[in-house]
Chains A and B, each alone.
Chain A
Amino acid sequence: MRLTCPLCGPRDRREFYYSGDAVLLARPATDAPPGAWDDYLHNRDNPAGVTQDLWYHEQGCCSWLKVTRNTVTHEILSVESVAGTSTAGGAA
Chain B
Amino acid sequence: MRIDGRGRIDRTRPVTFRFDGRVFAGYKGDTLASALIANDVRVVGRSFKYHRPRGILTAGSEEPNALVEIVGPANQTPNTRATVQELFEGLVARSQNRWPSLRFDALEVNDLAAPFLSAGFYYKTFMWPRRFWEGLYEPVIRRAAGLGSLSGRHDEGVYEKAWAHCDLLVIGAGPAGLMAALTAARAGADVILADESSEPGGRLLSDDAVIDGLSGADWVAQVLAELASLPNVRLMTRTTVTGVYDDGTYGALERVGLHRRPRPNLPRECFWRIVAKRSVLAAGALERGIAFQDNDRPGVMLASSLPAYLNRYGVVPGQKVTLFANNDSVRATARSLMAAGVTVAAIIDPREDAPDEPGITVHKGAQVKRARGRMGLREVLVRVGGREITVETDCLGVSGGWNPSLHLTCHMNGRPRWSDDLAAFVPVEGAVPGMLVAGAANGSFSTHGCLAAGTQAARASLEALGVTVGQADLPQADDAPYRIAPLWAVPGKGRAWLDFANDVTVKDVTQSAQEGFRSVEHMKRYTTQGMAPDQGKNSNVAALAVLADATGRGIPETGTTTFRPPFAPVSIAAMGAGGRGEGFAPQRFLTSDQASRDRGAPMVEAGLWYRPGYFPKPGERTWREACDREVRMVRSSVGVTDVSTLGKIDIQGPDAGRFLDFVYTNTFSTLPVGKVRYGLMLREDGHVLDDGTCARLGQDHWLMTTTTAAAGLVMRHLEFVSQAFCAGWQVRFVSVTEAWAQFAVAGPLARDLVASALGHAPDLPFMGCAHVVVQGIAGRLFRISFSGEEGYELAVPTRYGEALFRDLTARAETMGGGLYGMEALNVLRIEKGFITHAEIHGRTTAFDIGMEKMVSGKKDCIGKAAAARPGMTGPAREQMVGLVPLTDDVLTAGAHLFAQGVDLTREHSAGYVTSVGYSPTLQSHLALGFLQNGRARHGETVRLVDRLRGVDVLCRVSDPVFHDPKGEKLRA
Q: Does B121 contact A (CB under 8 A)?
A: no
Shortest Cβ gap from A59 to chain B (Å):
11
Identity of the chain B residue whose Cβ is nearest the Cβ of A11 in the assembled complex: B275
* Alpha-carbon separation in the docked complex, A64 to B643 (Å): 30
The answer to whether B412 touches A74, judged by C-beta atoms less than 8 angstroms apart, is: yes
Q: How far is the CA of A34 from the CA of B684 in the complex (A)?
A: 13
Tell me the bound Cα distance from A10 to B860 in angstroms: 37
- In the complex, are the beta carbons of A92 and B859 less than 8 A apart? yes
Give bound CA distance, A62 to B719, whole Å: 7
Point out the residue from B163, B246, B721, B865 that lies within 8 Å of A1, measured CB to CB.
Answer: B246
Q: Is the CB of B716 within 8 A of A30?
A: no
Contact B727 A83 (CB under 8 A): yes
Q: How many of chain B's residues have a CB under 8 angstroms from any CB in A? A: 32
A12 CA to B826 CA, complexed, in Å: 40
Residues in A neighbouring B245, C-beta threshold 8 A: 1
The answer to the question of A50 belonging to the interface, with a C-beta cut-off of 8 Å to chain B, is: no
User: CB distance A89 to B727 under 8 Å?
Assistant: no
Please tell me if the beta carbons of B866 and A41 are within 8 angstroms of each other in the complex.
yes
Residues of chain A whose beta carbon lies under 8 Å from any beta carbon of chain B: 1-2, 10, 12, 17, 19, 24-25, 27-28, 30-32, 34, 37, 40-41, 54, 56, 58, 62-64, 74-76, 81-86, 89-92
Given the contacts A1-B245, A2-B248, A12-B273, A56 and B724 also touching, CB distance less than 8 Å: no
Give residues 239-298 of B contacting A (CB, 8 Å).
245-249, 273, 275
A28 and B724 form a contact (CB under 8 A): no
Chain A, residue nearest B663 (CB): A91
Interface residue ranges, B against A (CB under 8 Å): 163, 245-249, 273, 275, 412, 433, 658, 662, 684-685, 712, 716, 719-721, 723-729, 859-860, 864-866, 869
Q: Chain B residues with Cβ under 8 A from A31's Cβ?
A: 865
Decide if A76 touches B725 in the complex (CB within 8 Å): no
Q: Which residue of B lies closest to A42 (CB)?
A: B685
Bound complex: CA A28 to CA B862 (Å): 11
Complex contacts, B412 vs chain A, CB 8 Å = 74
Measured in the bound complex, the distance between the Cα atoms of B273 and A32 in whole Å is: 48
On whether the beta carbons of A32 and B247 are closer than 8 Å, the reply is no
Q: How far is the CB of B728 from chain A (nearest CB, A)?
A: 8
Q: In whole angstroms, how far apart are the Cα atoms of A10 and B275 in the complex?
A: 10
Q: A1-B249, A64-B720 are in contact. List 20 more A-B contacts (CB 8 A).
A: A1-B247, A2-B246, A2-B247, A2-B249, A12-B273, A12-B275, A30-B860, A30-B864, A31-B865, A37-B865, A54-B720, A56-B716, A56-B719, A62-B719, A64-B723, A86-B725, A89-B725, A90-B725, A91-B721, A91-B725
- Which residues in B have their C-beta under 8 angstroms from that of A74? 246-247, 412
Q: Is the CB of B869 within 8 A of A37?
A: yes
Chain A residues contacting B249 (CB-CB under 8 Å) are: 1-2, 12
Min CB gap B272→A, angstroms: 13
Q: Which 8 A-B pairs have the closest CB atoms?
A: A2-B247, A1-B246, A92-B860, A84-B727, A90-B725, A64-B723, A30-B865, A91-B725
* Bound-state Cα–Cα, A92 to B273, Å: 46
Closest to A86 in B: B724
20 contacts between A and B (CB under 8 A): A1-B247, A2-B246, A2-B247, A12-B163, A12-B249, A30-B864, A37-B865, A41-B684, A41-B685, A62-B719, A64-B720, A75-B433, A81-B723, A82-B724, A86-B725, A86-B727, A89-B725, A91-B721, A91-B725, A92-B860
Instruction: State the CA gap A76–B916 with chains docked (Å).
Output: 49
C-alpha gap A86/B658 in the complex (Å): 19
Whether A76 and B247, one on each chain, are in contact in the complex, defined by CB atoms closer than 8 angstroms, is yes
Closest-CB distance, B866 to chain A (whole angstroms): 6
Least CB distance from A51 to B in Å reads: 15
Please tell me if the beta carbons of A2 and B275 are within 8 angstroms of each other in the complex: yes
B219 to chain A, nearest CB (A): 37
Asked if B869 contacts A64 (CB within 8 A), the reply is no
Which chain A positions have C-beta within 8 A of B273? 12
A81 to chain B: which residues have CB within 8 Å? Answer: 723
Which residue on chain B has the smallest CB distance to residue A63? B723
Contact yes or no, A27 B725, CB < 8 A: yes
Contact, CB under 8 Å: A37 / B866 = yes
B contact residues around A75 at 8 Å (CB): 433
A86 to B721, CA, bound (A): 11
Across the two chains, which residue of chain A brings its CB closest to B433? A75
Q: Which residue of A lies closest to B865 (CB)?
A: A30
User: Is there contact, CB below 8 Å, between A91 and B719?
Assistant: no
Chain A residues near B728: list those with CB within 8 A: 84
- Residue numbers in B under 8 Å from A89 (CB-CB): 725
**Which partner residue on chain B sits nearest A28 by CB separation?**
B865
Distance between B349 CB and nearest chain A CB, rounded to angstroms: 46
A89 and B721 alpha carbons, distance in the complex (Å):
12
Contact assessment for A64 and B865 in the assembled complex, using a CB-CB cutoff below 8 Å: no
Identify which of A2, A32, A58, A83 contacts B865 (C-beta below 8 A).
A32
User: Smallest distance from the beta carbon of A89 to chain B beta carbons, Å?
Assistant: 7
With contacts A2-B248, A28-B865, A41-B684 taken as known, whether A17 is within 8 angstroms of B716 at the C-beta atoms is: yes
Q: Which residue of A lies closest to B721 (CB)?
A: A91
In the bound complex, CA of A74 to CA of B247 (Å): 9
Residue of A nearest to B727 (CB): A84
Interface centre among B163, B720, B864 (most CB of A within 10 A): B720
Closest chain-B Cβ to A70's Cβ sits at a distance in Å of: 11
A10 to B276, CA, bound (A): 12
Complex Cα spacing A40 to B412, Å = 33
A12-B275, A74-B246 are known contacts. Are A24 and B716 too (CB-CB below 8 A)? Answer: no
Closest residue of chain B to A3, judged by CB? B247
| CB-based nearest A residue for B659 | A91
B724 touches A64 (CB 8 A): yes
Q: Which residue of A lies closest to B726 (CB)?
A: A91
